[in-house]
Homo-oligomer: A and B are copies of this chain.
Amino acid sequence: MIVRDFHKIVENDRDRVVSAEQWSSVRMLLANDKMGFSFHITFLEAGSEHTFHYKNHFESVYCMEGSGSITDLATGETHEIRPGVMYALDQHDKHILRAKEQLVMACCFNPPVTGNEVHQADGSYALEDS
């Protein structure tokens, strides 16, 4: 059994915390935990806007706090995000995420993130072996 505390990771285990432009993410589970998915608590700054396109991953995102919206760039549809709303990128959907207030999200990735990916210019994560 793996037991991890978000607050202890933030204080003492900074290798599990990644920050980029106006977002940060705490990696609660990664590929080497061998769960078949990874699990992250992700923060998006109030007023920020992000274009993501996970071509190689499925991701689900559950809003725990905050408000904003997601726009599906294939259809142009925009959905409001507030606590309790989940979106799942089952089509590797390219999207724009907008945080009106700071968003706090619980995210699952399949395949699991290894921790070595970088966001590429097209908004995707490369697979580690690609």
Q: Mark A98-111, 1 if CB is under 8 A from B, else 0.
A: 00000000101011
CA distance A36 to B111 in the complex (A): 8
CA distance A5 to B86 in the complex (A): 6
In-complex Cβ contact of A3 among B2, B35, B85, B108 (8 A): B85
CA distance A78 to B84 in the complex (A): 30
- Interface positions, chain A 50-98, Cβ under 8 Å from B, are 58, 60, 62, 64, 70, 72, 75, 79, 84-91, 93, 95
Closest residue to A36 on the B side, CB-wise? B110
Closest residue to A95 on the B side, CB-wise? B1
CA distance A93 to B3 in the complex (A): 12
CA distance A38 to B37 in the complex (A): 10
| Size of the chain A interface, CB-CB below 8 angstroms | 38
Q: Are A36 and B36 in contact (CB under 8 A)?
A: yes
CA distance A86 to B41 in the complex (A): 11
* Across-interface contacts of A89 in B (CB, < 8 A): 1
Please list the residues of chain A having a beta carbon within 8 angstroms of any beta carbon in chain B: 1-7, 28-29, 33-37, 39, 41, 58, 60, 62, 64, 70, 72, 75, 79, 84-91, 93, 95, 106, 108, 110-111
